[in-house]
Amino acid sequence: MRRPPFRSGEQEQIDAMIETLRRRSAAALDKEEFTSAVWLAYYEADSSYHLFEGCCDWDAYLHTRLNEAIEALKCERNRRMSVESRFSLNQPVGRSQRPAIDVLFPMQGDFTRGIDFWDYMERLGSPKYNMVRGFCRRDSDQEIMTDLHMAAPEFYQLKWELQADMWKYLRI
């Protein structure tokens, strides 16, 4: 059973909710692309809610579906930008010109490099350690600044220091 069509003012409420979501969690995304994707997720949620009606209420279901759409957009944006960014783990490093992610996190059974990496990050201090955790979650700079309650100048200063620290780590 589908929800009833828009009631008076409901579309404006949804537009306001989408704008709030965009400002809070996806400010770096293209506004038009974000709005289209979230409206599409809204319509998909509206048409599939009847399948989940017994397990959760409409607001919880809609919130979940919208967040899934936002995460998909972020992943796609990050995938597109991953090779172009100077801070990307897809940038080639060293003589081998292998991507940094292959050097830091090789796809093999040996997990010691990962342990060494996180141990090194922990020794850099809490702010840098938490920044790296945010980068590994593929959070945007804005999301990391918000999570860590940092102003932009402090964040970018630490990011530059972190880049230098990473070069030192790669030389070990």
Name the residue ranges covered by the structural domains of the chain. 1-90, 107-172
CA distance 43 to 24: 22
Q: Which residue has the tokens 């589908």?
A: 2
3-class secondary-structure state, position 29: coil
Whether 16 has a pLDDT exceeding 70, the answer reads: yes
- Residue 93 confidence (pLDDT): 73
Closest CA relative to residue 84, chosen from 92, 74, 94 = 92
Tell me the mean pLDDT in the region 93-112.
70
Q: pLDDT higher for 90 or 145?
A: 145
- Compute how many other C-beta atoms are within 10 angstroms of the C-beta atom of residue 114: 12
- Residue 106 confidence (pLDDT): 63
CA distance 154 to 141: 12
pTM score: 0.43
Rounding to the nearest 10 degrees, give the CA dihedral for residues 10, 13, 19, 20. -140
- Residue 23 confidence (pLDDT): 74
Q: Which residue has the tokens 């990307």?
A: 88
